Amino acid sequence: FSAYDATGGLQVPTVASGPVPIPFDTELREGSYFTHATSGDNSNVTVSHTGWYTAYFDVCIDHNDANNNRVVPRCYLELGDGSTNAEVTGSGAYGYSRWDPDGETCMSAIMDVYMEENEELQVSCSEVGDGYEDIFTIADASRFRIEYTG
């Protein structure tokens, strides 16, 4: 599976407001082991086979704060059954940005994840710094790739 977010513009909230799943609206490849929608709920990927998967994500944000405040976004993998998700331990990635005036930063991680048939994997993000919510995903700059490894 391989997809990216062509649209961008998703506001990444503070950790107090809860994380937001990153949408991936443009598929490059789905493959027979994966199910993913490109509209509606396009943030998660469901697998059809139990086993090990290698997941990679890259999420880039733009920080639009005219007051020159710092932000610390954090993204991570979430694994679940569609109704209950939990963070994949060790998958967290942090960024740092200070608007001056180009406040872009990217968070990336690669992780091996054991998944059961019909489990879902998604990338979620929040701002964990001083609580500023003026950060947004950048169009064509967030990617998600998953490979079945056995």
Segment 62-80, tens digit of pLDDT: 987 666 578 889 999 999 9
What DSSP element (H or E) covers 147?
strand 143-148
Q: Classify strands 20-21 and 85-87 as parallel, antiparallel or unpaired.
A: unpaired
Span 130-140, pLDDT tens digits: 666 688 999 99
The tokens describing 147, both together, are 């490979």
CA 35 vs. chain centroid, Å, equals 17
Q: For 9-130, where are the alpha helices, taking DSSP H only?
A: none
Q: Which residues of 74-92 are buried (b: 16+ CB within 10 A; e: fewer)?
A: bbbbbbeeeeebeebeebe
pTM: 0.93
Q: Is the predicted pLDDT of residue 117 greater than 80, yes or no?
A: yes
